[in-house]
């Protein structure tokens, strides 16, 4: 072990206080603390809420080192420990009393003219119209045409993201140990003029989702991954699939996904 730990924090008073306390305790325990991301660090500690956690993994391009979250936010679904558990955290980490929970990610590739761009999401990627316009998308799964979707858009969520935007749309909660993607419509149209699925679709990890815009006047699309939005014009096609990039969370003894779901949602 190189005993170097990277600490990332938001700027709220509670997070800054927790960060100062943690850095002092880590230093007294023989660890080298850095506030600048370093690829040779053995651990990233993320202090804040789920938004801060997502900010960190996007800012540092989905780091491969293990990550532990200290919750000073609201829901704290990704965060493992509370600020009053710092001593227990350092002891258990030093003793190796933890497991790694690998979380899968979703990849979206979008072709605009002769250029192709790629985005990765931990929770989800969303495909929407610009300025709240409806989108019309020819949807295929595994290369087979399924439907012409019409509505506000689509969310493609990972199991980890099933409890986020997907859940607010009426999608299913999925155990993160399952390897799949969930496609959930956003305000789909289902009339005599338009037909679209009104419930979620589950895809195994070896199938991809293909989308081709079917809008006569404007093929501008907004792509949102974990809350970060990019707008594109002249969109020709999109492919969404299961990514091989993983985010590894540290989990301590007693962690159980469904117990956490119950404590956060019920």
126 annotated as ligand-binding: no
Strand ranges (E), 38-194: 43-48, 67-71, 98-112, 115-121, 124-129, 135-141, 144-157, 180-188
Residue 30's domain spans which residues? 4-96
Q: What pLDDT is attached to residue 140? A: 97
Q: Which two tokens stand for residue 85?
A: 């558990």
21 annotated as ligand-binding: no
C-alpha closest to that of 133 among 241, 240, 233, 236: 233
Which residues are paired to 144 by β-bridges?
141
Per-residue pLDDT of the chain (266 residues; tens, 9 = 90+): 579 999 999 999 999 999 999 999 999 999 999 999 998 999 999 999 999 999 999 999 999 999 999 999 888 889 989 999 999 999 999 999 999 999 999 999 999 989 999 999 999 999 999 888 889 999 999 999 999 999 999 999 999 999 999 999 999 999 999 999 999 999 999 887 777 888 999 999 999 999 999 877 677 899 999 999 999 999 999 999 999 999 999 999 989 999 999 988 87
193 annotated as ligand-binding: no
Q: Are 162 and 172 in contact (CB under 8 A)?
A: yes
Catalytic residue flag (residue 234): no
Residues 36, 144: one domain?
no
Residues 52, 145: one domain?
no
Instruction: Write the Ramachandran bin of 134: left for phi over 0, alpha for psi from -120 to 50, otherwise beta.
Output: beta
Alpha helices in the chain (DSSP H): 13-28, 50-59, 86-95, 165-168, 257-265
- 258 falls within a domain: no
28 annotated as ligand-binding: no
Check residue 84 and report its DSSP letter: G
Q: What pLDDT is attached to residue 1? A: 53
Q: What pLDDT is attached to residue 265? A: 83
Catalytic pick from 27, 40, 50, 226?
Answer: 50
Provide the 3-class DSSP secondary structure of residue 259. Answer: helix
- Indicate which CATH number applies to the domain containing 61: 3.40.50.10330
Q: What pLDDT is attached to residue 230? A: 97
C-alpha closest to that of 179 among 238, 65, 103: 103
Residues 208, 167: one domain?
yes
User: Number of structural domains, the chain?
Assistant: 2
Residues 112, 232: one domain?
yes
Provide the 3-class DSSP secondary structure of residue 220. Answer: coil
167 annotated as ligand-binding: yes
Residues 81, 117: one domain?
no
Please give the backbone phi and psi of residue 238, each rounded to the nearest 5 degrees, phi first.
-140, 145
Q: Where does a domain end: 96, 131, 161? A: 96
Q: Where does a domain end: 38, 61, 96? A: 96
C-alpha closest to that of 162 among 188, 139, 180: 180
- 148 falls within a domain: yes
- Indicate which CATH number applies to the domain containing 220: 2.60.200.30
Q: Is the dihedral of CA 180, 185, 190, 194 positive or negative?
A: negative
- 171 falls within a domain: yes
- 264 falls within a domain: no
pTM tops 0.85, yes or no: yes
C-alpha closest to that of 223 among 149, 163, 164, 153: 153
Q: Are 237 and 212 in contact (CB under 8 A)?
A: yes
- The gap from C-alpha 176 to its chain's centroid, in whole angstroms, comes to 12
C-alpha closest to that of 43 among 59, 29, 64: 64
152 annotated as ligand-binding: yes
Residues 32, 153: one domain?
no
């Amino acid at each position: 072990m190189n005993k170097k730990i990277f600490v990332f924090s938001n700027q709220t008073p509670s997070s800054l206080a927790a960060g100062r306390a943690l850095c002092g305790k880590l230093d007294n325990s023989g660890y080298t603390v850095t506030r600048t991301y370093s690829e040779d660090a053995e651990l990233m500690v993320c202090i804040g809420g789920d938004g801060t956690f997502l900010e960190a993994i996007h800012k540092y391009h989905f780091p491969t080192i293990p990550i532990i979250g200290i919750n000073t936010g609201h829901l704290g679904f990704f965060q493992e420990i509370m600020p009053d558990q710092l001593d227990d955290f350092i002891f258990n980490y030093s003793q190796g009393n933890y497991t790694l929970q690998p979380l899968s990610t979703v990849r979206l590739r979008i072709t605009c003219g002769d250029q192709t761009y790629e985005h990765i999401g931990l929770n989800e990627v969303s495909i929407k119209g610009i300025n709240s316009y409806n989108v019309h998308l020819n949807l295929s799964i595994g290369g087979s045409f399924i439907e012409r979707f019409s509505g506000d858009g689509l969310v493609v969520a990972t199991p980890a993201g099933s409890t986020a935007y997907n859940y607010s749309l009426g999608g299913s909660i999925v155990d993160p140990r399952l390897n799949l993607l969930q496609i959930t419509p956003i305000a789909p149209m289902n009339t005599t003029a338009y037909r679209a699925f009104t419930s979620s679709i589950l895809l195994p990890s070896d199938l991809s989702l293909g989308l081709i815009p079917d809008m006569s006047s404007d093929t501008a699309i907004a792509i949102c991954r974990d809350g970060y939005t990019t707008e594109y014009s002249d969109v020709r096609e999109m492919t969404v699939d299961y990514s091989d990039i993983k985010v590894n969370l540290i989990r301590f003894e007693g962690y159980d996904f469904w117990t956490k779901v119950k404590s956060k949602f019920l």
